[in-house]
Structure 1
């Protein structure tokens, strides 16, 4: 069908008598603007059938649009596939629907939202991204707008999750600064853009900004304009977990004098005033679609003050009062929700001393909103028959958080793989009524917001049954934004940049990376991470250079800034660590790294300045204003850029030799390189630097012909790196030797040893001990053995290093290892004695009151050792709980078991016992492991590609 030809656009017909007319009129207006963006022509929106031309777009809900109902009655439109369903639509091309009309593009919804989803589906078909406003994604220009007929015969499904939405939180300094500058306030002009975004993404639910904003008072044309517009658009409104009965959290202190003399937000001591305050909220908002929050927390998102027993009884009193108010205004059957968040979780489940709210029948008609731990890990989930409760379950999830142990409010730090694993678990446990995600300032969470809402809308396409499709999703999303201006190779590269930067931030959030987070001296860790950051920044820049000037603003927002800025913070911190390390060694190389720190700091400021003031003509002024480096408190107070160290050169030249893997440098004497093995084919590094005020020449000579030096001589001003490797063609057995380095300030002798291991008789996929360690990525199992219908599956690209494995289906636990599915690994150890096995597990919480995160590990059919990665006092989400704080900052649980082994080949079995356990890595060690953030790199295994 042709929508626009030679500047003439097909008209859009709406029925003015339909109850949803006002909302459809708004959406049709934005749809017309979409067509204008593509073609330069703007369709006319008409309300009388006699205005129809030869072609037209007809949009409306079944039973509410006279034209559509006439087509149904005449047998020209079959809506049986969507009738009596929720939020569904059909799109049909109808030939000669009435006299004088050759073709009609009919968008018929089962209800208002279904109709709107259908309209915005056409927007996507013509190339308009849902992020057309919020990321300035421009569509391809087309003077002729024709949609192939085969795309105009579609039927949507019912959404998988009933209420699907976002929460605008932590709205200062970034979102608040931008909104007040662009719109004057959090008013209807702003929220119209948010409503449209949610509907374009097929969501239907919103918690509005709340720290200083008051949704039902901030309207520009009328105080209630925000709420009225939400109703017209078909957006179901809610309030956050601590804002009951339609009232914003910030309202109370401004208006309490209307209800009494006390400003205490304490129901036990100020009952009458608070009840009257709530009643006015009901009167004000009762005519609008809401998911009504019940319960009460302390003021400003704090806990109630009493004992557990007192608080549970107080909550019962509060909820009875709230329900009585709802009955008074005929809202007793309106959808209601109770957020089981932070300390309220304890009041829901109860304690050994007092029964919780879980068994209280007054809440049988209330949806229970569970929560993650604020860092993307579910806290508790319903089990067994609980999953079938009639009012259902919801999940409050986080992409952004303002709280302990540290806030994270800057860039996207949530890899799609983590969202997939956790929210699939939520769905599989029956949490299917409400999905709401804290998106902070909204930007720059664009990719994660799209994914979260798509997963909620079509779980069948993207959920548990579609494992390892996150890379496909990312590429599809990239194509949606840039497919018309980038070739397939570039799109694949851009998608990889998006994946890489979110994984980097998921490994350790930028706010809490420190100069020594990544080891500067063990496993070459910091330099490996530094190289990843450099490559990420280069890739982001490479693809930016391929983007046309007209689309660079969108690319900067969605790809370049988050990737480059994330990489820059990593570089900044590692450079700071290296400057301190070399300053301690007296090397002027510290000064070079100090300069790089300062460059990275200026780069950070410059990237932010471009975002805030340059792109899109300054449209996003203030949006990227959050502090994001060097947090020392739970919030940004006291943040600082890292401190670089310098050293003052001594008079004359002075040679300093630093050997990779050692804690200090050497000015004279001897040093040792780590032992080489023919399996790992390592390269080690020797850094020669200058502690004096002049440069010098050096010469490095090996005592053995099998040692290769990539630069045996040179000139040193600040630093020179010599890569040392072994020529394995010249050595067929273990050997040792020495490298003599001569320069100003003396001579340093560096010992070098090589260990030859014959693996010709070793079975395939056997990991070999080198340097007293065997490090295994979890996916590289010899076998994955299913038990009781439960199997281990690989989740690609999930975790801090390679991938993860998890037991599916979700929700099955085992008391004893013999009944549990297990992973088998073959290992070759080089000596007899005691070994430590460290398991690296995703930071899953105990998902029930009685579970932990238990597994078992054993060798050679021996009795396995049962371990729990969670200590007995572990409490997910409690920022006073040290174990949980460490887990979410490091994004890992580690647990160590001990095993006695004899020299030779052994079979390691790892059994999963508790549901939710996700294994990422195993490290078997004969000696204590030195500090590193990520652990040793994976060991050589037989059959490994060269």
Structure 2
């Protein structure tokens, strides 16, 4: 056999042998992984490989797997100079794949998977699974690989070595918020036992992770085992999973354990170290005794019971935390664990205790914590709260980050489908890494499903930051394409892969604008900027695209497609449509229009569809495997949690006889009430056509254009409304020169309404390119559409495509550099034209970044035509990220935007605007200049016309 021939892993007439050394210290865990690897081969080829543990039984084609120093045959090949492991030896979690011809008598050819350690070996094994088409989501999303009875791996995919992972500890937190995950687990496995966790451990390793915070609200990881109470921890250790406990569960103990066992330690059930220290200390000590032999990342500190704050003053709590940590460290030393990795979670109120206040010194300079990794956090909504100062970034024990794709808390919980676009993950987590947060990345995934895409990205970013991190700006689209191919096969056409990737990107961006749980009937304006219409069209288009690509997939892939793509996309879009229909129902019901009934029907259909989609997920796919998994309430939240949620209510209108009314004019800045007979003029027309919707209560009507107005055309169309009539008013721009006005007559049931149309012209002759024109007293600009960009001190503004509520964002990169004065700072330049002299307000729309250090803000400056720029801070003086009692922060995370206004006096004519970035972390998405109050719309005005 030639060394350049493909390696045959499986063929109809042979079954590859897989050899593990039974004497190796890592044998138990490697055997578990090797068995699942064998199941992968069988899943693809239908052929079951043979597991071998005796060297003398090896023959033919074999796979040899094991860590350096933990596999006798691998160590012999290294000693003989046959196997080259210099690229991985002494490193962390690396593997070497190498083809070896005739490694021993009777063996023709071997694929050697050598690991620098146990996890490196496992990553190498699962890399072969991926090569043959098995997705990491093979179990948790029922991803079925394409069948192929002959599995041959090109040599080009072998003979390679992996790099060390970028982040040391990489994993997720199962925040088992009932009813979804808990319902499914108890139905499928009986409890959160080792049968369940074996599946989780496999997933983590397939995703090249190594760390887990286990489910905790109703589960006790080290007590819920089936074969023995501690079985979960035993299996984790065998698999090589480093276990932790969440931010409020110190020293190996689950949060729910205390109230069940406190009587073993005393008479009081108070989770209060100041009042009950002896019992709590004994409780912790038993946790150490129970779990000390396993690989753990030990949580220190203490918070109040059930994820609450301590009860004392800031000074009292800081002093109490010092006593607690000293007690915990003494216990660890007692059991010779003082050198095990330890972590302190600076989460919620603990952030104040870490940094201190003006009156009280915090914990950050306390020498006792020098050997403890400090786990910072986001604000529970995907925005970092704090980052290390430059002089702190190289602290010996390092930094970690606790991030969220799911959250149970104020101002509103979000626990349903993914609402975090990959672009946001990239923007925030690359900033974390660049600021030195490289030791722990752990993300709250709630029920795990359906967070498959963002979790995959988070883990890949942590594993291979060089490939996907700061240097890979605007590569999330490519990542999504590759992920689609991984789940559904590379045999799909390019158009289908691109289309599915677009569905994933569109639905997460749609949810990123505002979370489904808090979309209301009035969130998107039914009166201004055609907003409700535009958003509805996006939602309906998304549903159609998801259905279109489902038809292009073979039957075995449809269950996976429903879980990974169709359900989260279509169900999300359906919620938006439901609320917009309810909003239109409200509007027309107030006007007495029978169109209200049409929208009542549509809203009720959407409600029923929501129920049907959920039921199909829970019982209709994968043979009913996912019973209960998709059960989270996700519509109409009125509290921070789901209590009191409801579908939107609708109103029906009894048709009136002999009635006709104009119920809306799309494309203007104003809505019209029933029976309006004198509509104001359209001014500054820019689009080709406008729509006038007429609702008839049963009477007939006619319409006509004035004969003198040959530049206006009327068409009676279906429009976007299913009932009533839409009159489309189209302007022939070639004929309109010299025309000043025209009129349209609508008549019916004795009523006649006249609409006067007036044009105001602006000459665009000799106007510079990318000059935005004022319309309706407004200039709206997407931030990326600059006339020019100027870098300073090596910092430049770069576009992050598809990031934000409308088009994109711009951010100063590299991250981490702030500027004191505008003249020192990089700036963006825009050109615009206004029609009148006067006072203007410039509203900046900025991503909801928090104050990244105690002394920074989110400052920028804006100025016109060389004037002294006006400095502003997107964060008000009382802003406190992560505090659900802080109204500015709550508004920012609910709307997913900061807004700040500067004021400027401008003369009629052309102007140049400069926007300077002053504080690191500033992400600009949109600018709106207006000479008066802006009517309500969620996404604000659409972008103005520009040359």
Instruction: Give TM-score, length-normalised by structure 2.
Output: 0.98
1:689–1:717 CA contact under 8 A, matched in 2: no
2:601 alignment partner, one of 588, 595, 598: 595
**CA–CA separation in structure 1 for the residues paired with 2:73 and 2:368:** 46
Bigger shift: 731-740 or 396-405? 731-740
CA-to-aligned-CA distance 1:145-170 (integer Å, 9 cap, x gap): 11111111111000000000000004
CA distance in 1, matches of 2:249, 2:738: 72
**Residues 877-914 of structure 1: CA deviation (Å, up to 9, x unaligned):** 00000000000000000111100111111110000011
Matches of 1:180 and 1:381, distance apart in 2: 39
Contact 1:667 / 1:745 at 8 angstroms: preserved in 2?
A: no
Residue equivalent to 1:221: 227
Distance 1:239 1:591 in 2: 53
- Say what the alpha-carbon RMSD is for the aligned residues: 1.3
Displacement of 1:712 after TM fit? 8.4
Query: Aligned partners of 1:227, 1:43: CA distance in 2, in Å?
Result: 29
Q: 1:570 aligns with which of 549, 556, 576?
A: 576
Preserved CA contact (<8 Å) 2:718 2:726: no
Name the residue aligned to 2:357.
Answer: 351
Paired residue secondary structure (2:445):
strand
SS at the partner of 2:716?
A: coil
Please report how far the alpha carbon of residue 685 of structure 1 lies from its aligned counterpart in structure 2 after TM superposition: 1.4
Alignment correspondent of 1:664: 672
User: Shift of the alpha carbon at 1:405?
Assistant: 0.3
Indicate the residue corresponding to 1:810 in structure 2: 815
1:696 lines up with 2:700 in the alignment:
yes
| Residue of structure 2 in register with 1:581 after alignment | 587
Q: Does 1:908 align with 2:913?
A: yes
The match for 2:538 is 532
The secondary structure found in structure 1 opposite 2:209 is coil
Match of 1:434 in 2: 440
Write the distance in 1 (CA, Å) between the matches of 2:326 and 2:627.
46
2:4 alignment partner in structure 1: none
Compared with structure 1, are the counterparts of its residues 786 and 117 closer, same or farther at alpha carbon in structure 2 (3 Å cutoff)?
same
The answer to whether residue 499 in structure 2 is matched with residue 493 in structure 1 is: yes
Work out the CA distance in 2 between the residues paired with 1:811 and 1:717.
Answer: 53
Residue 72 of structure 1 contacts residue 78 of structure 1 at CA under 8 Å; is this kept in 2?
A: yes
2:892 matched to which residue of 1?
887
Counterpart Cα distance in 1 of 2:445 and 2:943: 35
Given that residues 705 and 745 in structure 2 are in contact (C-alpha distance below 8 angstroms), is that contact kept between their aligned partners in structure 1? yes
Residues 475, 491 of structure 1: 8 Å contact kept: yes
Match of 1:939 in 2: 944
Q: How many angstroms apart in 1 are the aligned matches of 2:924 and 2:306?
A: 38
1:43-87: per-residue Cα shift (whole Å, max 9, x none)?
111111111111100000011100100100111001010000000
Structure 2 CA distance for aligned equivalents of residues 621 and 544 of structure 1 = 22
Mapped pair 1:626 → 2:632: yes
- Which ranges of structure 2 fall in alignment gaps of 5 or more residues? 1-6
Please, what TM-score do these two structures have when normalized by structure 1? 0.98
Please tell me whether the aligned partners of residues 834 and 909 of structure 2 are also in contact (alpha carbons under 8 angstroms). Answer: yes
1:205 equivalent in alignment to 2:226? no
Q: How many residues align?
A: 937
Q: SS at 1:358's partner residue?
A: coil
CA contact (8 A) 2:598 2:722 kept: no
- 1:631-646 superposed matches below 5 A: 631-646=637-652
Give the 3-state SS of the residue equivalent to 1:341 in structure 2: coil
Q: Structure 1 673/117 Cα, relative in aligned 2: closer, same or farther at 3 Å?
A: farther
Residue 846 (structure 2) aligns with: 841
Match of 1:788 in 2: 793
Residues 1:717 and 1:804: Cα distance change in structure 2 (over 3 Å):
closer
1:41 and 2:67 equivalent?
no
Task: Measure, in 2, the Cα distance between the counterparts of 1:142 and 1:170.
Answer: 38
Tell me the residue number matched to 1:898.
903
Alignment gaps of 5+ in structure 1: none
**Shift of the alpha carbon at 1:100?**
1.3
1:735 CA displacement: 2.3
Between 260-269 and 748-757, report the one with greater CA deviation.
Answer: 748-757
Out of 711, 716, 721, the residue aligned to residue 706 of structure 1 is 711
Instruction: Check the 8 A contact 2:662/2:672 in 1, yes or no.
Output: no
* Alignment partner of 1:760 is 2:760: no
Q: Does 1:25 align with 2:12?
A: no
Is structure 2 residue 515 aligned with structure 1 residue 509?
A: yes
C-alpha spacing 1:772/1:43, structure 2 compared with 1 (3 Å): same
1:666/1:748 contact within 8 Å kept: no
Report the secondary structure of 2:402's partner residue.
strand
- Tell me how far apart the structure 2 counterparts of residues 205 and 490 of structure 1 sit (CA, whole Å): 35
Q: Whole-Å Cα distance in 1 between the matches of residues 742 and 673 of structure 2?
A: 20
Decide whether aligned partners of structure 1 residues 668 and 777 sit closer, same or farther in structure 2, where only a CA change above 3 A counts. Answer: closer
Q: 1:531 is paired with a residue of what secondary structure?
A: helix
- Distance change in 2, residues 1:739/1:314 (3 Å): same
- Taking a change above 3 Å as real, the CA distance of residues 892 and 682 of structure 1, as seen in their structure-2 partners, is farther
Aligned mates of 2:807, 2:552 — CA distance in 1: 30
Alignment of 1:103-502 (within 5 A): 103-484=109-490, 486-502=492-508
Q: Quick one: distance in 1 between partners of 2:608 and 2:86?
A: 62
Q: Does 1:830 align with 2:838?
A: no
Cα 1:51–1:719 change in 2 (3 A) is same
2:683 matches 1:675 = yes
Aligned to 1:742: 747
**For residues 576 and 717 of structure 1, what CA distance do their matches in structure 2 show?**
14
- Give 4+ residue runs of structure 1 displaced > 3 Å after superposition: 651-657
Q: In structure 1, how many angstroms separate the alpha carbons of the residues matched to 2:541 and 2:703?
A: 32
Q: CA 1:902 to 1:543, structure 2 compared with 1: closer, same or farther past 3 Å?
A: same
CA spacing shift, 1:134–1:717, aligned 2, 3 Å: closer
Contact 1:483–1:491 (CA under 8 A) maintained in structure 2 = no
Structure 1 position 582, deviation (Å): 0.3
